[in-house]
Structure 1
Amino acid sequence: MATDTLMPAPQAPGQQAARSSWRVACSVWFATFMREAISRTMADRMGWFWMIFEPLAIIAIMVSVRGLFMSGSHVSGADYVAWMVVGMMGFTLFRENMMRSIGAIEANRGLFAYRQVKPVDPVLVRCFLEGMLKSLIFLLFIVIGSLLKFELIPDHPFGVLLDWLSLWALGCGVGLTLSVAADLVPEIGKIARIMGLPLLLLSGVIIPAVYVPHQFRQYLLWNPIVHGLESMRLSFFGGYHTIDGIDMTYLWFWALGSITLGLALHMRFHDKLKAH
């Protein structure tokens, strides 16, 4: 098992340990990453299927509903299917980073017998793994969508990359914070899981922000996810228009603030998290 690499190698009498703290941390992250990657992708034979099928099913349902009750294949200057794909994948990136982080400490508690492993390590590794998996799936959607003649080639690829990274950072920050809070108070984790559906509805994933009445848009903009999704759609579709007030600085404020808070909580409650 990859966790065996966490054990220090035997040393000859009088030999000094040569590995720095950074090299030890990298060894821990690599071993934990291999363990998480195998568990995430190979433990369940249907793992890859569900990662692809879930967003695809929601997109198919919403496209069908729109076809039944509304006319036209475009929304706010973008193809509706492509618009849904971008929004759903961006939201899934945030949500999975947040949700997977909640159970990371409990799932890897056995590794804390090794003094090199800290409670924050499996959380960081899970966030990195989810970012890789969701990026791969998003690229797969873009390739398949383009072959099916949907408008899924971004007009501003660099802008899309920055927006994608911002949503990943926000998910990591919220995940780091909730991983501590949910381990100390389990009810917080249950509440966070329940909030998945309301966040889907309130983040402009399936309902265009321009459809929200003007008097309520200021409240919609309190949600940092809206800024990330709408900015990524603006980068994807040259003719897309959205509500005023989209500000990526606001999203990065939330992302960096939550990352700082999460790391501070991990440092403050390190001993409790290990012994919980």
Structure 2
Amino acid sequence: MQTRSSWQVTRNVWHAMFMREALARTMSDRFAAFWMLAEPVLFVMIMIGVRQLLGRVRVIAGADFIPWLLVGLMTFFLFRDGMTRAMGAINANKALFAYRQVKPVDTVLVRCALEGLLKTMVLVILLVGAALLGHDTFPDNPLGTLFIWGSVWLLGTGIGLVVSVGATLIPEVEKIVRMMAIPLMLISGAILPVNFLRHDIQEFVLYNPILHGIELIRLQFFHRYVTLSGVDLLYLYYWALGSIALGLLLHVKFSIRLKAQ
């Protein structure tokens, strides 16, 4: 009987869990797939209405408003959903820990990978839809766009690894993280341009790594786009790689408690 290597075992575990999560995510109810598309569309429609009321945000320097808004929202949703869905991954898959090959960290990584794939598909569908309506949605730098998109996914995965441990050991952590989602969207520049904020507030929001990811991906989409001074890819990667390292360390440290929780 041929034995499998550790990598083969891990790969098979990830594949099985990915298929299980994909079916649960898209077919949990009749409207599961619909809401993945409906949420960003509704946000865009609401913000277009707000745009008509707030004259200051009617013009985005160097970008068309609707593609600018769509790219920002989907980039934020990529981070947010990777983070929030990671929090419930361990508790939702407790039955699988009866198999010694399955580790708590596997459930988080698989969920984050699935969310990244789903959000990428939704972004492509929405951009194609906007293009059919007459908007220029093709990125000026496609490779740069993919790179920044992947970087934001890494950030969401890293934060997801950290909060998944906290939310499993301390249930109140999940409530706090979910409450922070809306304020985080506002200070990340996903729906309103941060260029219109006062300079002292701009300096404060630049501590937010999601802002850097959103503004960087807009720069790849619109080469004439004018963003804040201080947006930095390296700062985004400090947070992404640092949170991934911290999250993996926490999973190693509390692996037994996470299984027994």
TM-score range, shorter chain: over 0.9
Matches within 5 A, 1:154-173: 154-173=139-158
- SS of equivalent to 1:77: coil
Q: TM-score, normalised by structure 2?
A: 0.97
What residue in structure 2 maps to residue 6 of structure 1? none
What residue in structure 1 maps to residue 190 of structure 2? 205
- What is the CA distance between 1:235 and its match in structure 2? 0.7
Does residue 218 of the first structure (1) align with residue 203 of the second (2)? yes
- SS of equivalent to 2:150: helix
Looking at structure 2, the residues matched to 75 and 275 of structure 1 have their Cα atoms a distance apart, in angstroms, of 51
What residue in structure 1 maps to residue 70 of structure 2? 85
Looking at structure 1, the residues matched to 18 and 183 of structure 2 have their Cα atoms a distance apart, in angstroms, of 31
Aligned residue identity for 2:146? L
What residue in structure 1 maps to residue 42 of structure 2? 57
- What is the CA distance between 1:69 and its match in structure 2? 3.5
Task: State the Cα deviation string for residues 239-273 of structure 1 (Å, max 9, x = none).
Answer: 21011001010000000000000000000001001
- What is the CA distance between 1:73 and its match in structure 2? 5.1
Structure 1, unaligned runs of 5 or more: 1-14
Aligned residue identity for 2:216? S
Does residue 233 of the first structure (1) align with residue 218 of the second (2)? yes
What residue in structure 2 maps to residue 75 of structure 1? 60
What residue in structure 1 maps to residue 242 of structure 2? 257
Task: State the Cα deviation string for residues 185-209 of structure 1 (Å, max 9, x = none).
Answer: 1111110011110101110011101
- What is the CA distance between 1:113 and its match in structure 2? 0.5
Does residue 31 of the first structure (1) align with residue 16 of the second (2)? yes
What residue in structure 1 maps to residue 112 of structure 2? 127
Task: Indicate how the Cα distance of structure 1 residues 199 and 77 shifts in structure 2: closer, same or farther if over 3 A, else same.
Answer: same
RMSD, aligned α-carbons: 1.1
Q: Percent identity?
A: 51
Looking at structure 2, the residues matched to 63 and 256 of structure 1 have their Cα atoms a distance apart, in angstroms, of 35
Q: TM-score, normalised by structure 1?
A: 0.92
Aligned residue identity for 2:244? I
Does residue 102 of the first structure (1) align with residue 109 of the second (2)? no
Aligned residue identity for 1:145? A
Bigger shift: residues 68-77 or 79-88 = 68-77
Looking at structure 1, the residues matched to 160 and 119 of structure 2 have their Cα atoms a distance apart, in angstroms, of 16
For the Cα contact (< 8 Å) 2:78–2:153, is it kept in 1?
yes
Aligned residue identity for 1:152? T
For the Cα contact (< 8 Å) 1:73–1:79, is it kept in 2?
no
Looking at structure 2, the residues matched to 192 and 210 of structure 1 have their Cα atoms a distance apart, in angstroms, of 27
Task: Indicate how the Cα distance of structure 1 residues 185 and 77 shifts in structure 2: closer, same or farther if over 3 A, else same.
Answer: same
Looking at structure 1, the residues matched to 21 and 52 of structure 2 have their Cα atoms a distance apart, in angstroms, of 40
Looking at structure 2, the residues matched to 135 and 74 of structure 1 have their Cα atoms a distance apart, in angstroms, of 27
- What is the CA distance between 1:71 and its match in structure 2? 7.4
